[in-house]
Structure 1
């Protein structure tokens, strides 16, 4: 028996098999979980998710527009009808208009900001609100964030501001849902090559920076992030809520370039 044998949950936001959400899902499945999925409205996104979800026997694959409260409510009504109750929810949803993502934050548009915050941040609150209805015995909600919400990461721009708001939302939702024995946490991964990451740009440079600066002198793997996400959703993390778990080979603890600086000095000696 695995840690998730008999447990049921929903995963919102899988884009393809390179998604961090899918890496976490694979770990959940390995531990015996039963998982349902949502996808963005539209045939193209449905095909992408069904390609992953149908081979593993998912009982629920449904569309979800997180900008519509009634659509999120419907998803969890369907989850209740399909599974009875839920033990976990993985929220892996973020979006900003490409023009606003590519420009400096100071030049971003008001409408782009509203859209990005609605989808990337407020959606977690709406999902948590409706997920709680289907978690009568408590449960765990996990979202995905990034260090660009804590410190400035050039090129991350508007999404960094959204992640800062998401991090705060995790803490407030943890407080709100704590009396229901529902935990709310986030995993903050180092650079992982995903569809979302491709929109940010300079991925290879950023990944190389982690190799040079992180205490472990390497970047994190997709499998490591998957394992950490599975842990945070599991009963092993039953005492953890409102936490931002960094899975980045220690990069976030550095206050200087560390060994990279030493090597640069040696190169100029």
Structure 2
């Protein structure tokens, strides 16, 4: 018998979660955690190819489902126009990243200008644009999340162009936390340990990275999407209303090991 007691500390809150591709997505772990704690959830899907994978998940948690491809002019603005008509927004999760395969799998020296700019636009600047549109809807304050990785601060072999891009994302989170703090909007860069997601599958020797994480992390276990989602739910709750601007590691302590 499950005797777990769940307190709906996010009841009455509305959470937009961007980046669910399938049930293995970090964004899905966030959506599950928010919904479990009482929040209303809005999910997005990238395109018609992605829709059949995301729609059943949205149905599972009674979530609204809307299209969003941040590379398409006007789509982000259209999404927030719909949300504005529906009322207040309290939580936003940005869990999207992209780099062309050739630029991702080659070293930084070989990264093309177009590839670098695409990676920066989708993985970093779209979060800034999202924050600008979300802030006016967070009339009672709110919480913004972006997904980073330890490769933003230390060299992780084969992470390549995404290292500098994620470093920019973490810096953007700090500056947004400073600018939005007076409006009671908190901003967090989340840094999960290695996870078996579709995005991670594009990294060379990723299985070796997973095995190394288990061997080196103090807790000796890989994290999963629920771990990340639960941490985000805590940070979005009243229990963390004085926490902002940090890079929050959810990695079994891997980041502290030399």
TM-score (norm 1): 0.90
2:68 maps to 1:61: no
Task: Tell me the residue number matched to 1:146.
Answer: 149
Whether contact under 8 Å (1:185, 1:241) holds in the other structure is: yes
Deviates further, 223-232 or 167-176: 223-232
2:193 equivalent to 1:190: yes
TM-superposition CA deviations, 1:138-185 (whole Å, max 9, x none):
100011110001000011111111111101000011111111110010
Which of 76, 80, 102 is residue 76 of structure 1 equivalent to? 80
- Higher deviation after alignment, 216-225 or 198-207: 216-225
Cα distance in structure 1, aligned partners of 2:18 and 2:220: 32
The answer on whether the counterparts of 2:32 and 2:61 sit within 8 Å (CA) in structure 1 is: no
* 2:27 pairs with 1:21: yes
Deviations 1:99-144 (A, max 9, x none): 1000011101000001000000000100000001111111000111
Alignment counterpart, residue 93 of structure 1, candidates 91, 96, 103: 96
CA distance in 1, matches of 2:158, 2:131: 30
Tell me how far apart the structure 2 counterparts of residues 220 and 38 of structure 1 sit (CA, whole Å). 24
Aligned to 2:4: none
Q: Distance in 2 between matches of 1:27 and 1:215?
A: 25
| CA distance in structure 2 between the partners assigned to 1:217 and 1:57 by the alignment | 35
Corresponding position of 1:115: 118
Alignment check: 8 A CA contact 1:16 1:22 kept? yes
> Aligned runs of 1:14-53 on 2, under 5 Å?
14-40=20-46, 42-53=47-58
Q: Would you say the 8 A contact 1:142–1:232 is kept in 2? A: no
Q: Would you identify which runs of 4 or more consecutive aligned residues in structure 1 move more than 6 Å?
A: none
Does structure 2 conserve the Cα–Cα contact (< 8 Å) formed by 1:15 and 1:49?
A: yes
Residues 1:251 and 2:254 aligned together = yes
Residues 142, 233 of structure 1: 8 Å contact kept: no
Equivalent residues of 1:69, 1:126 under 8 A apart: no
Contact 1:146–1:188 (8 Å) recurs in 2: yes
* Range that drifts further, 231-240 or 158-167: 231-240
Residue 235 (structure 1) shift: 1.9
CA distance in 2 between partners of 1:96 and 1:208 (Å) = 24
Say whether residues 1:134 and 2:142 are aligned partners. no
Q: CA deviation at 1:69?
A: 5.8
Q: Which runs of 5+ in 2 are unaligned?
A: 1-6
Q: Provide the aligned length of Structure 1 versus Structure 2.
A: 252
Query: Aligned residue for 2:165?
Result: 162
